[in-house]
Structure 1
Amino acid sequence: MIKSMTGYGRGQAHVDGLSFSVEIKAVNHRYGDINVKAPRVLMPLESQIKKQVSAVLKRGKVDVFITQDASGAGSALPVINEPLAEEYMKIFKGLTMRYDLSGGISLGLLLAQKDVLSVEDAGHDEQVLSSCLKEAIDAALQALLVMRQKEGEATAVDIKQRLELLESLLEKIVVRAPQVPVEWQQKLKDRLERLGDDAGDPQRVAQEIAIFADRCDISEEVTRFRSHLEQFNELLQNGEPVGRQMDFLVQELNREANTMGSKSNDAELTRHVVLLKSELEKIREQVQNIE
């Protein structure tokens, strides 16, 4: 069954006091575009993260948000930058003497200065780090896939109904098309009869009728249109990413519809073709969100 490119999933994992939360958001995109936002400690693992995600999500703009939970035991430690603190103390004492200020320099004031107190990762074994992260990403991907599949099923139902409508409209076109040159021939005969002796060469008239009939013939376009519809129905049952193939088929179906419209020379036939193209446009919009 086809899958949507839109989805959201969240996952968590806890391994040896290490804890990660992963959120993955995906929207439609022509190609696969994965962006990772994670703590600096995970920067060496970015290529591994993208590889894990791309193995599951073939198309779409994917944003991966990773946070390290502070609740994990030993996940982070407060660190004092003593050299920087000493420099701040020198500045504060210098200002106190220079401007003859009273009062002492509080610990709160010192710790409030930028980068004097920071929180750093306590450090973990790389294998534990990778294992915990992989587990959290897997959980987020599975949740996202569930959403993608549900949306894909709804999209498939809508497209299936529109394909059935296309088949119905095509049958109306097939029934109407042969009548167009016949009716044109009768109108031409009626006009010639009204002209009487000035009706012209019968052979020339027959030749014009044959040319008109050939110009209106859409049998090849109808055959190709049916073939594309069959291929489209087959792709709806395919579990692999088929969005690009569907997009190509919609373009081909539009091409055949345009040719049928240019050959119609008939108001009723043109109306059917316009409805055909309208449904194709709705299918094209749906296909844009299929993986």
Structure 2
Amino acid sequence: MIKSMTGYGRGQAQRDNLSFTVEIKAVNHRYADMNIKAPRLVTPFETHIKKQVGAVLKRGKIDIYVTQNNNAQATVKPVVNQSLAAAYLEALQALGDLEGVAGAVPLEYLASLPDVIKLEDVSVVEAEILSCLEAALADALAAIVSMRSAEGAATAVDMVERLGLLREILGNIEAQAATVPLEWQRKLNERLTRLQNGTEMDPQRVAQEIAVFADRCDISEELVRFRSHLDQFSELMDTPEPVGRQLDFLVQELNREANTMGSKSNDATLTRYVVGLKSELEKIREQVQNIE
């Protein structure tokens, strides 16, 4: 089953006082382009995050946002720099003596001075961080895969309908192509009859011209290859693995065969069918651009 490259998933997990929220957003991209925005606590685990996400999402521009939820006490704590505070206090008291000002230094003022109180990391067991992070990631991945699958299923329905239209148009092209040499022969005979003015036509020469024309406008090989590519396309759509790049290649090949048929066309009706063929192929190509 094909999947879209576009999707969004969100997951959250908690272990004791540690809690993470993970959001994953993905859009179209030719390859797998993964970016992570996470707090410092998670930085050592970015490689693990990419590995876990990459095992599920094979293609797309993937943005991963990790948020540490409002429980900062679990990983940081305020610490008093006692030596610095004492130095500030001594300096303030000396300043008071110098100016002849007496009085105690307010605690709030002392605490507000630079670097007197700072936040320090609290030691957290790596296994707990990883466990919490993996659980949040798993939920986010499940959500985005569900969205991608739903959109992929809708895309598949549309493409199956268009593949049916391509086969129908191809049948019309095949039927019309068989009549082109005969129609050209009829028109050639009519022109020769008007122009011969009593001269005798050479049947062998006429037959040779018709054979050359028939060979020049023969599209039987293109028709066979086009049908083969359509069959491969349908088979790939039922493959569980990501097939976006393969489908994109097949669309290019189908367009190449359609262009060749168009260049060999010497018939207005046949040309109109080929234009319809290319129009449906373009719509399929646009859909394929969003397939993983």
Mapped partners of 2:94, 2:276: distance in 1: 84
Quote the offset at 1:37 in angstroms.
Answer: 0.9
Distance of aligned partners of 1:181 and 1:100 in 2 relative to their CA distance in 1, 3 Å threshold? farther
| Paired position in structure 1 for 2:147 | 147
Equivalent residues in 2 for 1:75-154, closer than 5 Å: 75-80=75-80, 117-154=117-154
- Call closer, same or farther: CA 1:140–1:95 in 2, change over 3 Å: farther
Q: Provide closer, same or farther for how the CA distance between residues 106 and 290 of structure 1 changes in structure 2, counting only shifts above 3 A.
A: farther
Mapping 1:256-271, distance limit 5 Å: 256-271=257-272
In the other structure, the counterpart of 1:230 is: 231
Tell me the percent identity: 61
Query: For 1:220-252, what per-residue CA distance to the aligned partner results, in whole angstroms no more than 9, with x for missing partners?
Result: 100010011111111111111000110010011
Task: Tell me whether 1:70 sits opposite 2:70 in the alignment.
Answer: yes
Aligned length: 291
TM-score (norm 2): 0.89
Change (3 A) 1:108 1:270: farther
Contact 1:156 1:236 in 2 (8 A): yes
Q: What is the 5 A alignment of 1:1-291?
A: 1-71=1-71, 74-80=74-80, 117-196=117-196, 197-198=198-199, 201-291=202-292
Within 2, Cα distance between the matches of 1:200 and 1:53? 76
Q: For residues 171 and 266 of structure 1, what CA distance do their matches in structure 2 show? A: 16
SS of the residue corresponding to residue 165 of structure 1 reads: helix
Kindly indicate whether the alpha-carbon contact (under 8 Å) linking 1:19 and 1:72 is maintained by their aligned counterparts in 2: no
Q: Distance in 2 between matches of 1:27 and 1:100?
A: 69
Q: Deviations over 1:64-83 (max 9, x none)?
A: 11111123763432344567
Q: Please tell me the residue identity of whatever aligns with 1:145.
A: V
Distance of 2:290 and 2:27 partners within structure 1 = 8
Which piece of structure 1 moves more, 88-97 or 45-54?
88-97
**What is the SS of the residue equivalent to 1:43?**
helix
Q: Structure 1 stretches of 5 or more lacking a match?
A: none
Contact 1:192–1:199 (8 Å) recurs in 2: no
CA separation in 1, counterparts of 2:113 and 2:200? Answer: 104
Post-superposition offset of 1:93 = 9.0
Partners in 2 of 1:91 and 1:260 — Cα distance? Answer: 91
**Taking structure 1 as reference, are residues 67 and 201 closer, same or farther at Cα in structure 2, changes over 3 Å only?**
same
Separation of aligned partners in 1, 2:284 and 2:238:
16
**Cα deviation 1:156-197 (Å, max 9, x = unaligned):** 011111111111110110110011111111001000000123
Counterpart of 1:160, as a letter, is V
Q: Per-residue deviation at 1:16?
A: 2.4
The runs of at least 4 aligned residues of structure 1 exceeding 4 Å deviation read 80-101, 103-118
- Gaps (5+ residues) in structure 2? none
Alignment RMSD (CA, Å): 2.9
Aligned-residue offset at 1:46: 1.0
The separation in 2 between residues aligned to 1:131 and 1:253, in whole angstroms, is 48
Amino acid at match of 1:13: A
Could you state the TM-score of these two structures normalised by the residue count of structure 1? Answer: 0.89
Range that drifts further, 112-121 or 278-287: 112-121
